[in-house]
C-alpha cells in the first residue's frame, strides 16, 4: 500500500502528478459557481418584498467568462484524467487507508468541475436542455445528474477508506436516533417561525423560492403521468440526492475541514457551502441551519448515516407534501 518510507501518495512526500491539473479545475469550479450566483436577479414584488429569480439570458461578459472557463476546464480535464490514471498505475493509492487531506478536497472539487465542463459543453453544443419532458422518469435523473455522478466518483476516490469519511457504523445509535428525531421535529415545526420568517421579514425578502416551485411542478407532473414517474421522483429526490449530498458535504468536505480547521469552523464552512450550493436565496438561512444540524450529527456520532437519515426523511416529507 506504500511505495516505500515516506512515499505514500496520500499524506506522504511523493506528489500526485494529477495535482497541477486539479488546480485550474478547482479554480474553474469557483468561477462557474460565482457566475451562477451572479445570474440571480432581485426585483421588488407588489408587496415591496424582494423576489429572487434567475436570469434567463446572462450578460454577454458573463457568458464569455463561463465559456472560457469551461473550455479551459475541458482541456485540463483531459490532462487531469490521464494523470490520475498514471498515478493509479504508479502506486496503489486507491487502496490506501490514510486520512483525507487537502489534496483529496482539491481532487474531489476538480472532479465536480470536470462534470460541469463536460455537461455544459454537451448541452451547449450537442443536446437540447432539458433532454426529457418535465415530470418524466428521465427528467428526475437528468436534474440529479450531478448527485448521481457524486455517488460514483466519491466511492471510487475513497475506495478502501470510506470509513475515513464517515461511511461507517455510528457511535451510540440509540442516542443518535433520539437526537435526529428531535432535530426533525424542530425543523418541521420551529425552523420556519424562528429562522425563516423572521429573517425574511428583516431583509424584506419574499419566500417564493424558484427552486422549490420547479421541484413542486415536476412532482405534480409526475403524479399526473404514471406510477413510474412517481417512483422516480421519490427515489431520486427523496433518497439518492440526500445520500449523494451527505457523502459530499458531510463525508468529504466537513471531514477534511474539521480535521484541518477544527469542529466549529469545519461544520460552519461546510454548512455554508451546502446552503450556497442550492442557489436559493429565499431559503438560504434555513438551508444553512439544516446544514448545521446535519453537520452536528455527522461529527457527534462519527458517521454520516445520522445525517443521511435526517436528510432523507426531510426530503421524503417534502415530496409527499407536494403529492398531497
pLDDT of 188 reads 94
Q: Decide if pLDDT at 96 tops 70.
A: no
pLDDT of 138 reads 95
Q: Which residue has the higher pLDDT, 1 or 253?
A: 253
Share of the chain above pLDDT 90, in %: 81
Domain boundaries defined on the chain = 16-129, 169-324
Q: How far apart are CA 123 and CA 284, in angstroms?
A: 28
| Torsion, CA 194, CA 195, CA 196, CA 202, rounded to 10 | 100
Mean pLDDT, residues 276-294:
96
Q: Decide if pLDDT at 264 tops 70.
A: yes
pLDDT of 158 reads 94
Question: Which alpha helices (DSSP H) does the chain contain, by range?
Answer: 19-38, 60-90, 102-125, 137-143, 145-157, 173-189, 191, 197-202, 210-225, 227-233, 241-245, 254-261, 263-277, 284-300, 305-323
Q: How far apart are CA 71 and CA 91, in angstroms?
A: 31
Q: Decide if pLDDT at 66 tops 60.
A: yes
* Residue found by looking up cell 445525517 in the block: 307
Q: Decide if pLDDT at 7 tops 70.
A: no
- What is the band of 9 on the pLDDT scale with cuts at 50, 70, 90? very low
Mean pLDDT, residues 83-110:
80
DSSP class per residue in 99-120: PP-HHHHHHHHHHHHHHHHHHH
- What is the band of 157 on the pLDDT scale with cuts at 50, 70, 90? very high
Summarize pLDDT for 203-215 with one digit per residue, the tens. Answer: 999 999 899 999 9
- The rounded mean pLDDT for the chain is 91
Cell of 320: 409527499
- What is the band of 16 on the pLDDT scale with cuts at 50, 70, 90? confident
pLDDT of 273 reads 97
- What is the band of 160 on the pLDDT scale with cuts at 50, 70, 90? confident
Share of the chain above pLDDT 70, in %: 93
Q: Decide if pLDDT at 11 tops 60.
A: no
- What is the band of 58 on the pLDDT scale with cuts at 50, 70, 90? confident
pLDDT of 95 reads 47
Q: Decide if pLDDT at 169 tops 60.
A: yes
Q: How far apart are CA 35 and CA 57, in angstroms?
A: 12
* Nearest residue to 99 (alpha-carbon basis) of 247, 257, 246: 257
pLDDT of 124 reads 86
Q: How many CB atoms lie within 10 A of CB 2?
A: 16
Q: Decide if pLDDT at 122 tops 70.
A: yes
Please state the φ and ψ torsions of residue 39, each to the nearest 5 degrees: -85, -5
User: What is the value of pTM for the model shown?
Assistant: 0.91
* Nearest residue to 278 (alpha-carbon basis) of 302, 242, 308: 242
Give exposure, 246-258, as e/b (b: 16+ Cβ within 10 Å).
bbbbbbbbbbbbb
Amino acid at each position: 500500500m506504500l511505495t516505500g518510507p515516506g512515499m505514500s501518495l496520500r499524506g506522504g512526500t511523493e506528489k500526485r502528478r494529477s495535482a497541477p491539473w486539479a488546480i485550474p479545475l478547482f479554480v474553474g469550479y469557483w468561477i462557474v459557481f460565482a457566475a451562477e450566483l451572479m445570474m440571480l436577479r432581485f426585483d421588488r414584488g407588489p408587496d415591496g418584498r424582494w423576489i429572487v429569480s434567475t436570469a434567463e439570458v446572462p450578460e454577454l461578459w458573463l457568458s464569455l467568462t463561463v465559456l472560457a472557463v469551461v473550455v479551459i476546464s475541458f482541456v485540463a480535464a483531459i490532462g487531469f484524467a490521464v494523470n490520475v490514471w498514471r498515478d493509479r498505475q504508479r502506486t496503489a493509492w486507491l487502496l490506501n487507508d490514510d486520512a483525507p487531506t487537502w489534496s483529496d478536497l482539491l481532487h474531489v472539487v476538480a472532479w465536480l468541475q470536470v462534470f460541469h465542463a463536460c455537461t455544459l459543453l454537451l448541452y451547449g453544443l450537442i443536446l437540447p436542455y432539458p433532454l426529457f419532458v418535465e415530470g418524466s422518469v428521465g427528467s428526475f435523473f437528468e436534474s440529479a445528474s450531478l448527485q448521481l455522478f457524486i455517488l460514483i466518483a466519491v466511492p471510487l476516490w475513497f475506495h478502501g477508506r470510506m470509513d475515513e469519511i464517515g461511511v461507517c457504523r455510528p457511535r451510540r445509535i440509540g442516542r443518535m436516533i433520539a437526537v435526529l428525531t428531535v432535530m426533525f421535529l424542530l425543523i418541521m415545526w420551529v425552523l420556519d417561525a424562528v429562522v425563516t420568517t423572521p429573517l425574511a421579514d428583516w431583509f424584506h425578502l419574499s419566500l417564493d423560492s424558484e427552486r422549490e416551485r420547479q421541484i413542486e411542478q415536476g412532482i405534480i407532473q409526475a403524479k399526473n403521468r404514471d406510477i413510474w414517474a412517481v417512483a422516480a421522483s421519490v427515489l431520486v429526490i427523496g433518497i439518492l440526492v440526500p445520500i449523494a449530498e451527505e457523502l459530499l458535504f458531510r463525508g468529504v468536505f466537513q471531514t477534511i475541514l474539521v480535521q484541518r480547521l477544527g469542529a466549529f469552523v469545519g461544520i460552519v464552512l461546510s454548512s455554508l457551502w451546502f446552503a450556497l450550493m442550492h442557489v436559493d436565496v429565499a431559503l438560504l438561512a434555513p438551508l444553512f441551519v439544516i446544514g448545521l444540524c446535519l453537520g452536528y450529527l455527522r461529527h457527534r456520532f462519527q458517521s454520516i448515516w445520522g445525517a443521511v437519515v435526517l436528510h432523507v426523511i426531510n426530503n421524503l416529507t417534502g415530496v409527499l407534501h407536494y403529492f398531497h
